[in-house]
Chains A and B, each alone.
Chain A
Amino acid sequence: MRGFLSVYKREIISYFSTPLAYVFLVIFLFFSHWLPFQRNFFELRTASMWLFFDGLPLLFIFLVPAMAMRLWAEERGSNSIELLFTLPITVPAAVLGKFFAAWTVLIIALALTCPMVLTVSYLGNPDWGPIVTGYLGSVLLAGAYLAIGSFFSSITRNQVIAFVLAVVGCAVFLYAGSPTVLGVLHRAFPMGVVEAVESLSFRGRFEDMQRGIVALRDLAFFVFLPAGWLAANIVVLRRR
């Protein structure tokens, strides 16, 4: 893994020495807190973070690709990729270094939503299980979106294209499990296909975690799916 730490460090410095991380954090914190209140958080009359977590998959669909689009497209666009890969840094180390740096920023963003936790604990006696697993699910979901975004960023030197493709990619994986999509599929395909599509979706798994259910197969899914996208990312960069 030669070069992983140096790439990781450089990326983190780059996020926080430019407005990038701050703009991202402010926008994310604003919308992640605004959404539950806009959806009548108080009228729910329960001290739970359900509404908060429920809004995240949609919010992430736009914000995570915005974070991921620069990862490789910028590097290609400014040609600094030629510098990066003529240093003794291997492709997997560079891909993972960038991925984990961006994921770190996303995890910091989630950690900064603690006022929400304080709010529900002030308002009542929240059930801590679903809050912990909800956060776990959010971190994993962000990582999965990020891996998809990182892949699409590596296939183009245009950041706008990378963003659009990543949004579509993430949306496909999120909404594949929605009842509407599954209903349509059910009319045309055998049950096996419908079940396969549903099992590829983030939706059901994230909802389970929101409810406090952490199944081993869901954890495995959130490890192997991003790993697959990152492996594809490595293959693309090796074929430069």
Chain B
Amino acid sequence: MIEVKGLRKSFGPIVAVDDVSFSVGQGDVLGFTGPNGAGKTTTMRMLSCFLRPDAGTATVAGYDIIDESVNVRRNLGYLAENVPAYNEMTATGFLKFVCDARGINGSKRRQAIERIAETCSITGVMHQLIGTLSKGYRRRVGLAQTLIHDPPVLVLDEPTDGLDPNQKFEVRKLIKNLAKERCIIVSTHILEEVDAICNRMIVMDRGGIRADSTPRELREEVGGSLDDIFLTLTTGETAGRSDAAKPEPADAREGGGQ
């Protein structure tokens, strides 16, 4: 349901994503990992039609991200990294706006909002201003925005970042439940999360794909835990040093986070 062919994006002299290709099918949950600045967010922003690629293209749910971007956005639920929302609105008002923009009206809108508030456990904060919500609730309101139109394709940029362990568990369970008839890309720094919810895994580094496989195959190929594999693939250092600090390259380039 997602076909990516040779995507490339640079910000000035910095090449954030360089010739990235992969595909994700229905029922797949793809774990997108890599150090900060690897190009994960930029790739996801291109898939969600927020950024226009310099070269290459992709199709999402059969629609081209450049020529048919409105159709792509209609079929896509996108949760951005820092969960942008309108702080001066209440959660209800915000979700109403999202429904309007997505053409969900009248009684359907009321039902959709009730259903999603239940799913994302935000019923208690629906009348609070988004700007006053805690980080966890804010992210769940963002998740509600992402899921409200029941999209066939989901792109989630670090959906569990900033959540407490219980909330993380809930969100992972939610993603797993959603996976069956959908196609989901989840970016994360937490490798145990990849193990818990993903059946596919892509490791990105410096704008390119270093590995595209399943967590199990990677373990067999490279050996060691996922942390070791991550270290080997993104720094070239040998595995077996998983005690060492997690690789956060000092030269992590800012471009990838744009």
Residues of A within 8 A of B (CB): 2-3, 5-7, 9-10, 13-14, 17-18, 78-83, 85-90, 240
Contacts and interface: CB of A to CB of B under 8 A. Distances in A.
A77 to B, nearest CB: 11
Given A6-B97, A80-B84, A88 B78 contact: no
A81 B71 CA distance: 19
Contact of A87 (B45, B51, B82, B102): B102
Contacts of B100: 5-6, 9-10
B93 A88 contact: no
Given A6-B97, A86-B78, A90-B70, 6 more contacts: A13-B89, A14-B89, A17-B93, A78-B84, A86-B48, A87-B102
> 6 tightest A-B contacts by CB?
A6-B100, A79-B84, A88-B73, A6-B101, A87-B101, A83-B84
Most buried by B among A9, A78, A79, A83: A83
B145 A13 contact: no
A86 B101 contact: no
Contacts of B102: 87-88
Contacts of A3: 101
Nearest to B103: A88
20 contacts: A3-B101, A6-B100, A6-B101, A7-B101, A9-B97, A9-B100, A10-B86, A10-B97, A14-B89, A80-B84, A80-B86, A82-B50, A83-B80, A83-B84, A85-B49, A86-B49, A86-B50, A88-B70, A88-B101, A240-B50
Interface in B61-117: 70-71, 73-74, 76, 78, 80, 82, 84-89, 93, 97-98, 100-103
Interface of B: 45, 48-52, 70-71, 73-74, 76, 78, 80, 82, 84-89, 93, 97-98, 100-103, 145
A61 B201 CA distance: 56
Contacts of A88: 70-71, 73-74, 101-103
Contacts of A10: 86, 89, 97, 100
Given A5-B100, A82-B45, A88-B74, A14 B86 contact: yes
Contacts of B45: 82
Contacts of A87: 73, 98, 101-102
B62 to A, nearest CB: 15
Nearest to B76: A86
Most buried by B among A3, A5, A7, A10: A10
